[in-house]
Structure 1
Amino acid sequence: MKDFHGELRTAIVEAIRKARGDMAAEFGSDSIHGFALCTDDNVMTLFAAVCTKSWVAEREPGYKGIGSIYVEWNQSAGDQHFETVSKIIQALADTESSNEEQRFESLTLALEDCRNEGLFESDTLLICGNTDGVGDLEVDAITRLNSPDAAARIAEDLVLTLPTAASDETAPANAESGRRKDSGISKLVSAVSQLFRSGSKRSAAMEIIPGRGVTRCEIGSPKESALEVFGKPKNVNGKYFEFPGMGVDVAWNRKKEVVLIVFFFRYEGYKSFNGKTREGIGEHSSLQQVLDTYGVPDRQDQGPTSSGTTYEHLYYDRLGLEINFRHSKLESIRVDPVIEPKQ
């Protein structure tokens, strides 16, 4: 039988080798403080995060523990090298021959291989993390991948309790029962984000802020913020999260910062986004209401579509807002960075 998880492990190691070469070229003599492989609650996505010692030293006085809080690391970790691996994980997740624990173990073993190969210094913190919180598998990875002192430092920063020998003996035989046990990781996932999980019947209404996005997922935020707010994406295409169940797409740049958020109201395959702009523009708003609210757009485009309908695009660059109509019905609202008008 083909060892798909072994192949995943090998592919991850190769991606890290390539990414490590990019880091050496970009960071030079600035040593790596921490490196993390990050996934979601169902281990269906993968991206890397990294921080250097100087980056941590600059921020730690005002943000205690940032050297372990991997969702805040925004230095370049060679994203392009992990795109193929992420597709492998997604494909495995769609089969009956793979479960979350097996895929997460492949991530952990790959980091162990990289540690043993010498790709990271002995004092570099290695984390196999989850943007949805920390459970038993993540805690186990921390203890396996780091020295006792380093593991204790990570545990302190992330408000975790590491297992003792006694607790290991009494651990439940079924690891699944402890897969997503609360570990007190309030710094990683806020309770508010639980309101917006894709598995909920209907998300609470959100407010779209022009030029910014929504609370906790804004232009310039780490891309992980999209996962915390909108839950598990159905698809990850390049640097694009797709959340059709929430009516949202989120794009990010090479710095892993959010650069674009699209809220859909009438789009094939997507549920209607449950929310309005801060000024009250939403699913049932008309073109005239948009003009009355935001005034004359900076740019405007309109015409017929190939399907025989009409479209109207209103670009409010000065607000970081694009509002799109199809056949006189609001189709989507796009939030971009604000473009200041030329003097």
Structure 2
Amino acid sequence: MRTRSDTEANVKSTALARVADATGNWVDTLAPLWSRPYLRLARFDRPIGSWLLLLPCWWSVAIASSLAHDVSRLPVTVALFFVGAFAMRGAGCTWNDITDRDLDARVERTRSRPIPAGQVTVRQALVFLVAQALIGLAVLLQFNRFAVMTGIASLAIVAIYPFMKRITWWPQVVLGLAFSWGALMGFAVIEGRLGLPAIILYAGSIAWVIGYDTIYAHQDTEDDALIGVKSTARLFGAKTHQALVVFYSLAVILIGLAIWLSGTGPVGWVGLAAFAVHLGWQIARLDIGDPALCLRVFKSNRDAGLLLFAGLVVDALIRTA
């Protein structure tokens, strides 16, 4: 018979168990034991995905504020997008882990995630998903009606994404559709509509996502081949560098077209140039046979996106001064 001390010891060991590719973070060292599996579900131990979801939101609100010649709403909108991106990224990852629990159990890097590792049940994960989605909804309701409807429309893409790796070699395109949605949201919030610059910025962000998630997927190509999971990393294989040149170039061209149509000034173009140089550095640095390096290069996209945002937001401040 299991004693109370045995149960407590089991709970503690489960909470202390770490995800394979997320060690040495604050969740593993500082968070209360009971909260760690849930924070891992939401990827608070690996916040890079939340940043990558957030950055197109920030780009679009900076460009839209510049177009409107009004930066008065910029600080609050930037803060709300920050909260919303982290909440909805957490909800999306929780949904992904629920749907992928059987696949995750068969891949070395993901078998230590909370559900396949037995740290939380599917029912507990579903409750946590709803809680995160409600936080996201609370943020969304701070905006105008058009922005609310635009935000809700993204949920269909989020819902189907986890299944795409089973049926297409291009699941990164669907991820791009979901992760780039913020490129529309800034315009929806500030202008209450989606014009041509918003659509082109969205397309450019999709190309960026396809590129960086191809890099990310190269960590798992061997396991993915064994279990039949498809990805652009497996599709491109040894031609990944050439594919990245295509998609990253397309991202820079389309984002450049969007900011040109928006009348962005010199500082915004400096931000785009810094973004482009960083993407070029990624291609030169990448070795698809080194999973640890793939992860580092993938994570560096936060810095690339922040360089672009810095240029856009400073330009918006100058333009409306």
Structure whose alpha-carbon radius of gyration is higher: 1
Q: Normalised by the size of structure 1, how large is the TM-score?
A: 0.28
Which of 1 and 2 has higher RCO (CA within 8 Å, sep 6+)? 2
TM-score, normalised relative to structure 2: 0.29
Select the structure that is richer in strand. 1
Structure with higher helix content? 2
